[in-house]
Amino acid sequence: MSEHKLLINGDLISTGEFLDVINPATGEAFIQVPLANAATLERAVAGAKAASLIWAGTSFQERRELLNKIADRISENVEQIAAQLTFEQGKPLAAAIMEVQFAEGFCRHFAGQEIHSEVLQDSDEKRIEIHRKPLGVVAAIAPWNFPFLIAVYKLAPALITGNSIVIKPAPTTPLTAIILGELIADLVPPGLVNILVDNNDLGPILSAHPDVAKVSFTGSTPTGKAIMANAAGTLKRLTLELGGNDAAIVLDDVNPAAAAPGIFGAAFINSGQVCIALKRLYVHDSIYDEMCDELAKLAKAAVVGNGMEEESEFGPVQNYAQYKKVLSYVDDAKANGTIIAGGVAIDSPGYFVPLTIVRDIEDGHRVVDEEPFGPVLPIIRYSDVDEVLSRANRSELGLGASVWSSNPERAHKVAMKMEAGTVWINQHCAFGPDIPFPPAKESGIGVEWGREGLLEFTAMQVINVNKHYAEPEH
């Protein structure tokens, strides 16, 4: 493979410093990529600031045309991007292809959006207008679970609303963001899109930078709090989509055999490395044993392996630090519950953890109260709906939740009492670019996606006109 380069202020550059990218299926480096430093960051932000002043004056049609060209370029290179995504992230190739296609879809969705000025009041006395203006430079800080999709779904709304962007991917998954920059370098005006790769050292500088108007971050709650603190000096606009420990409540009228596949898929999607994956399953006592059996059967049949091998259905944990963390949650599950699937580390190179399910466990243990962010699912027994709602809502996180029932009206009443930004009924982890995605509690601030998420990339301006103004008499 040819040497990769960073897109910085319109140029594809190599910095002379390099970062090893580890394939989580082997635990070994498979490529080196350029590593930015503080000077690179300053060049990126300066270029983005200059570009934002020009881009803010473009029409929605011009912005739409560019985003559709970017989407076309993604579509033309799905297989290349997906293969590198599997190498750096670990997910099976089919899932990587799906992520790239999702990214294209998000890009095209936001390309089709437009924000119009509104007239709030127009009378003989006054006219009040509401306008939405670009913010300027957006810093997009992306995590390692969906590195390509998240980079694109931050880029698209930023550009359509007239902003420029500096994208900083996670150091463990920088390659597909770099490839994105290389693919669109000849499409975007200089400075409009910048790709900045660091080794976990440039985030504080970027999030505190006086020329950055907004930070859009997806990642852990502790990191989100650090970004919020760094941004406080300049009162930047923030969208923080942070951790989740999503609870699901299965009511007593559910058929376990019918519901188990949907629950299983929502818990173990991307090997559980999803902020809105189902992470705590509360099942009514009357169907508890049967539900445990159905889910264990699915987990035991699952094939965990190298994402480039066709038979693999689930890949490894993405990085070594997270791998060790997930294994600590497996140990907690063993010590405080009954393992009914998985639980034994796979003896092979790479960061593989079998799909692990633990039953007979209670709230108060780490594997229930915290977010493992890996292929570990605790199943907790309950008998009273009001009591389980209290337990489900006890978490300081509130990203998503779900209720499962054969009675939609009954499920809806329970869903309305759950403290989460999104509550699904008879599904979980269902999302799209047209659906607002708000967090609750310490799962973040702001909104991603939908019109509400799009507006987060703009500044509101009110024009208030007094129609009866007259020159003072002399």
Annotated domain spans of the chain: 6-242+443-462, 246-425
Name the pTM for this structure. Answer: 0.96
Residue 474 has what pLDDT? 64
With a pLDDT cut of 90, the percent of the chain lying above it is: 97
For Cα atoms 391, 396, 397, give the angle at the middle one, nearest 5 degrees: 100
Rounded to whole angstroms, the Cα distance separating 255 from 181 reads: 48
Q: Is the pLDDT of residue 438 over 80?
A: yes
Q: Which of 88, 104, 241, 456 is catalytic?
A: 241
pLDDT digits (tens, 9 = 90+) for 117-161: 999 999 999 999 999 999 999 999 999 999 999 999 999 999 999
Residue 345 has what pLDDT? 83
Kindly report the number of other CB atoms within 10 A of residue 127's CB atom.
15
Active site residue 88: no
Residue 131 has what pLDDT? 98
Give, for 333, the enclosing helix (H) or strand (E).
helix 320-336
Q: Is the pLDDT of residue 473 over 70?
A: no
Q: Is the pLDDT of residue 23 over 70?
A: yes
Which residue bears the tokens 């199943």? 379
Rounded to whole angstroms, the Cα distance separating 456 from 417 reads: 27
Mean pLDDT of the chain: 97
- Measured CA distances, 29 to 26, 86, 88, 144 (Å): 8, 13, 9, 16
Active site residue 99: no
pLDDT digits (tens, 9 = 90+) for 82-117: 999 999 999 999 999 999 999 999 999 999 999 999
pLDDT digits (tens, 9 = 90+) for 285-312: 999 999 999 999 999 999 999 999 999 9
Q: Is the pLDDT of residue 470 over 90?
A: no
Residue 1 has what pLDDT? 40
Superfamily of domain 6-242+443-462: Aldehyde Dehydrogenase; Chain A, domain 1 (3.40.605.10)
Q: Are 280 and 392 within 8 A, CB to CB?
A: yes
Q: Is the pLDDT of residue 471 over 70?
A: no
Rounded to whole angstroms, the Cα distance separating 164 from 154 reads: 11
Q: Which of 275, 371, 442, 448 is catalytic?
A: 275
CATH class of 246-425: alpha beta
